[in-house]
Amino acid sequence: MQSYLQLNGVTKTFGDFTALQKVDLAIDKGEFVTFLGPSGSGKTTTLMIIAGFEKATCGDVLVEGRSLSGLAPHERNIGIVFQNYALFPHKTALENVYFPLQMRGVKHPVGLKNAADMLELVGLKGFGHRYPKELSGGQQQRVALARALVFEPSLLLLDEPLGALDKNLREQMQIEIKRIQRALGVTTIFVTHDQTEAMSMSDRIVVFEKGSIQQVATPLEVYHKPRTRFVAGFIGESNIIEATVVDPAARKATAEHIGEIEYAPSEFSLHKGTPVTLIIRPEHIRLSRDPKKGRHNARMKVETIVNYGDNALVIGRVGEQSMRVRVLGADVVIIKEGEDCHVSWTPDSVYMIAK
């Protein structure tokens, strides 16, 4: 079955600099997909090419099998929300939302009724008469969202729209944006460098780095089964261990300072002596005073304890191997900085990634 949005070999160069390198991506109708990556990774450039504000050096973007090449941004039926909202300061909230309908020839009173209905959907019923300066940052963001949705776009593009909001409001808007997206069923692409936003909102995450896609998967798969070292380090925290396979049939490898490590089933073709990279998430490691039978054990010297209230991050070393262990806040009292402890894990928590 044909995907709703298709990117085929999209490449973008600026002189000698390649911002995007042969990006291929398929997005289904109604999906909420997040482009995630650090600054300069290519995620916003990809969004701007889809929107029509940038032209691909080569490759194509298709919606329902129709190429968008050659179409101006206003001809693509795409709704866009930017970080700065870009509201008209001389227009009320209702007039701002009505504007794209007005540009499409929708007259009074139908256009104003549709705009008022959209304001109600985003939780701003009764705010239509206010000007942007009379609205909070979160309310302005909702007006911008309503304006991007009122004309029933084929795609909704959100370019870091929550970056200017404080933490509590940002979390509230994450929930609201997802609720509205589900209610309307609009295919949505959300750009962010914030992994928490990506994990909490997305059906799938597209991880960018240096102009290329590193992985496309559900949030849980990206977190628990990262395909590359970059993804493992960028999303969440990981203990990254270099090891050598000693028994592929028994799924055993050996690492300096740690010794023999059993790992979870892997898709890689492995032989004895194959160098591999293993990751263990900090929350999958257990910390104790004494060794635990039936689990891999290593002795760790605790260097730093970072308390977050409900949990704590214990940072230490097993020999020269740096290790991070995340524990419930109440459990951290069993150990102090400068002391020794045991860390342990099960084979199922040891995952192999590409180098």
pLDDT at site 311: 87
pTM for the complete prediction? 0.90
pLDDT at 297: 77
What would the two tokens of residue 344 be? 């342990």
Query: Do the bridges between strand 252-255 and strand 155-159 make them parallel or antiparallel, or are there none, so unpaired?
Result: unpaired
Contact yes or no for 116/147 (Cβ under 8 A) = no
User: What was the pLDDT predicted at 101?
Assistant: 94
Give residue for tokens 């080569």: 58
State the DSSP code for 284.
G
Q: In what order do the strands lie in the sheet with 340-345?
A: 286-288, 340-345, 296-307, 311-318, 321-328
Provide the pLDDT for residue 330: 66
pLDDT given at position 170: 84
CATH superfamily, domain at 5-232 = P-loop containing nucleotide triphosphate hydrolases (3.40.50.300)
pLDDT for 1 equals 62
In sequence order, what are the residues at sequence separation of 6 or more whose Cβ sits closer than 8 angstroms to the Cβ of residue 228?
214, 215, 353, 354
**E strand or H helix at 182, and its extent?**
helix 167-184
Residue 160 in tokens: 């870091």
Domain ranges of the chain: 5-232, 237-353
- For residue 15, which amino acid is it? G
CATH class of 237-353: mainly beta
Tens-digit pLDDT string for the chain (355 aa): 678 999 999 999 999 999 999 999 999 999 999 999 999 999 999 999 999 999 999 999 999 999 999 899 989 999 999 888 789 999 999 999 999 999 999 998 999 999 999 999 999 999 999 999 999 888 998 999 999 999 999 999 999 888 777 888 888 888 889 999 999 999 999 999 999 899 999 999 999 999 999 999 999 999 988 999 999 989 988 999 999 999 999 999 999 989 999 999 988 888 999 999 999 999 999 988 877 654 677 899 999 999 888 888 999 999 999 999 998 866 667 788 999 988 999 999 999 987 6
